[in-house]
Chains A and B, each alone.
Chain A
């Protein structure tokens, strides 16, 4: 029987791992992800989740342990955030090259310094090119369900996948959650069969030297499988509805059909943008929303189809690639490049380091979009003392006098 509980995004992620029957979990705690690890360690200690919980001294080791466990044929899960994900970086590559369908929840947090535990997409987007599937959850339900969805696809293409979740806004916010019936989940997600058994009776060399005559072919297959994952995400999202009652897809449109203007967003901040879009519709503005759920594989063709012919498109980025523009904006521009009826793309950088992205923020962006004539790579929203706009022209280094200490 499924049940309905009031849980935070973090606890929902732990439930996602539990429902997936993860067999090995290795993780290192880090704010704001710690609650996931805490609940999973309780679940494994109590026997509720019959899994091996491997404690480690770092995220690098956590992913190394996951790599070993997945190679041995175990369904393997971990969770991290911010600096932790950065420390995992080398092993993230390993999971891809070894074709291990590990699933990871990343509770996105801003990178240090200045030290910040608050919401920001820079950590996960810095891992854009390692070859992991990447999904962005908006709700507590998705924080749970995307884990199942990711395993379903990952284990068919033998590539790992990560589910992104916004720090605090989603990780620590409680919402009603449907915890699915285990038997139904088991039907959706059959037992993991690894590519090769790690069998002590027949030892093999794994991850060895391949030289110039092998490497390209192996990488080619990784690209092929990431491509396959795009189609499988659609199929597995439909199967999810058939078996478990929710339908998921790589992109989600809202009031999009007749929209002249579109705002593109990802993750939990989308909920407020959706409200801003609805409010603007009430006032007669023909605006719609496109939510990017699958960032890797990126649904290029669907993005082209859904955005072609629009008057203007605003892309919201809670991240910034210094020297270029927001990363979602880059991706959307690249997807549309060369297609007929490609709309102008206005990049908006918002909410860096966990600054609130409110319904009003959505309204301000929309108003700016309507009145702005020329698209800009990056328009900054809410920098103190500055209006919405591109980088200022009159920059100078601020060397502030040290404060005098009060006696």
Chain B
């Protein structure tokens, strides 16, 4: 110690010559401590497939595309498909939208970018052959997803498909401009390269029975979808064209519009697909719906695109009767008003007593589809006559599992994929294998009030680019560029997932965060002020009571 008797005994500036940290172990003052915690992001929580979106964004940010894809494939084998057609449930609860009043992160566009970017990578079987053979009935999204996960788990998998190609609704339902066939072909080919056998042109109930499969296979997964047209109960119903077969025809062959003036009854996704396909064939199209835009079941962006394609919408009109008169069809419409909510929670439409008549060359019905349950024996049905399906697709027959639209009625591709994966999990466990299915502890979802968007880059959301409208059946959007995808991922708060952004390190007033390729709390000096937790953009840190973790 200097004696401080001469001017040279003093430093040039007022500074403590000993590091203050050597004297003051301020960590002892702490009553709470910050902990880096993996929590669930709302996007992941809202995704039917449960994709860990912030985590794979971070993989991409670190330059590890392989890891990003691998993480994605654990939840969904087909990013190129859902990246195009998913209703993106993930985006509806994005914390960025709530907390910063900005557009949600364009998660689906990034998913599409990831899928296209890794399109050339083959899928791999991850474990040794188990010797088990599994039959999958139905080569749609649920069946294909189940096949993928079962094959990865080392089983032999055979898909039985009634049409000439696998793909189901993805090949024969969703129009080409939304999902090009070449992409479905490519995904089917990647499944075949994994060693999955696909037997086409073979139907359950005609060419084979469930019993036949149960004899030959260790387990059966049935995912035959919901392709049966629901009845419309309109007088003169037989004059109506069914929607789904028309979409299938449009994808198989060159079709022409059945007349110049077309109507589409219904306002679900099938109705939008039919209406927009008809517009591309040159027809003048009117959508007839008994409720209003608020209640329609089609995803909002399909409605917007239908409008920009020039589709007209007639709200609050319910067809009562269709009549043929000379060369045209006359559609008698009841004018409706909205009443009390029905069992779906939407206001029930009620007739006002006013009617009108519209004339068309043809009228399409797209009022919904239901599952065909005929091939299932009585013993597997519930008292309503539907196939009795429980958790993971279990049926009353222990060897038979079922899922997808067959179980739920028409839903989205991603819901079918999630069902296929859940069934694969259940079948794998049923057969005594557990290794590819780590136990995932439930964790809470990051709430909007917890995130901190203050330091996020504020640039506009990047969506898929739209190609010129209504020029034909070529894909109507293009994939983000690498730089656009990177910019979009940079907008993500990374809720509940530490992506090593460094904000905590920057803001810790005590230098109590050590940077080890990511934050590490220096407990000798952390006073537990909580600033890191508050500043963390995605709230991937939480404060825990010190008494719960140490002896103080």
A220 within 8 Å of B (CB atoms): yes
- Tell me which of B13-21, B203-211, B226-234, B455-463 binds A: B13-21
In the complex, besides A98-B13, A99-B13, A207-B15, 8 extra interface pairs with C-beta distance below 8 angstroms are A158-B12, A203-B511, A204-B20, A206-B14, A210-B14, A213-B4, A214-B14, A218-B10
| Inter-subunit contact B13/A195 (CB<8 Å) | yes
Give chain A's interface secondary structure class.
loop
Contacts of B7 in A (CB 8 A): 217, 220-221
Contact indicator per residue, chain A 178-199, by CB within 8 Å of chain B (1) or not (0): 0000000000000000011000
| Inter-subunit contact B10/A217 (CB<8 Å) | yes
Can you list 29 residue pairs at the A/B interface with Cβ under 8 Å? A97-B13, A98-B14, A99-B12, A158-B12, A196-B13, A196-B15, A200-B511, A202-B21, A203-B19, A203-B20, A203-B511, A204-B15, A204-B19, A205-B16, A206-B13, A207-B14, A208-B14, A208-B16, A209-B14, A214-B4, A214-B10, A214-B14, A217-B7, A217-B10, A218-B10, A218-B12, A218-B14, A220-B7, A221-B7
Once A217-B7, A220-B7, A221-B7 are accepted as A-B contacts, the answer to whether A195 and B19 lie under 8 Å apart by CB is no
| Inter-subunit contact B511/A218 (CB<8 Å) | no
The distance in angstroms between the C-alpha atoms of A221 and B7, with both chains bound, is 8
A90-132 residues with Cβ-Cβ distance < 8 A to B are 97-99
Give chain B's interface secondary structure class.
loop
| Inter-subunit contact A205/B15 (CB<8 Å) | yes
Min C-beta distance of B515 to chain A, whole Å: 9
Min C-beta distance of B514 to chain A, whole Å: 9
Contacts of A210 in B (CB 8 A): 14
The distance in angstroms between the C-alpha atoms of A133 and B16, with both chains bound, is 27
A199-248 residues with Cβ-Cβ distance < 8 A to B are 200-210, 213-214, 217-218, 220-221
| Inter-subunit contact B14/A195 (CB<8 Å) | no
Contacts of A195 in B (CB 8 A): 12-13
| Inter-subunit contact A97/B20 (CB<8 Å) | no
Contact indicator per residue, chain A 332-367, by CB within 8 Å of chain B (1) or not (0): 000000000000000000000000000000000000
**Which size class do B's interface residues fall under?**
10 to 19
Min C-beta distance of B6 to chain A, whole Å: 9
The distance in angstroms between the C-alpha atoms of A205 and B21, with both chains bound, is 10
User: What are the 4 tightest A-B residue pairs by CB atom distance, in nearest-first order?
Assistant: A200-B511, A202-B19, A205-B16, A217-B10
Min C-beta distance of B18 to chain A, whole Å: 8
Min C-beta distance of B423 to chain A, whole Å: 53
B1-43 residues with Cβ-Cβ distance < 8 A to A are 4, 7, 10, 12-21
- In the complex formed, the residue of B with least CB distance to A211 is B14
The distance in angstroms between the C-alpha atoms of A201 and B19, with both chains bound, is 9
Contacts of A221 in B (CB 8 A): 7, 10, 12
Min C-beta distance of A200 to chain B, whole Å: 4
Min C-beta distance of A150 to chain B, whole Å: 19
Contacts of A206 in B (CB 8 A): 13-15
A142-175 residues with Cβ-Cβ distance < 8 A to B are 158
Min C-beta distance of B550 to chain A, whole Å: 23
The distance in angstroms between the C-alpha atoms of A158 and B10, with both chains bound, is 16
- In the complex formed, the residue of B with least CB distance to A196 is B15
The distance in angstroms between the C-alpha atoms of A170 and B270, with both chains bound, is 73
Contacts of A99 in B (CB 8 A): 12-13
Contacts of B20 in A (CB 8 A): 203-205
The distance in angstroms between the C-alpha atoms of A328 and B246, with both chains bound, is 94
- In the complex formed, the residue of A with least CB distance to B510 is A203
Min C-beta distance of A143 to chain B, whole Å: 30
The distance in angstroms between the C-alpha atoms of A202 and B19, with both chains bound, is 5
| Inter-subunit contact B13/A218 (CB<8 Å) | yes
Contacts of B21 in A (CB 8 A): 202-203
Min C-beta distance of B532 to chain A, whole Å: 14
- In the complex formed, the residue of A with least CB distance to B508 is A200
Min C-beta distance of A217 to chain B, whole Å: 5
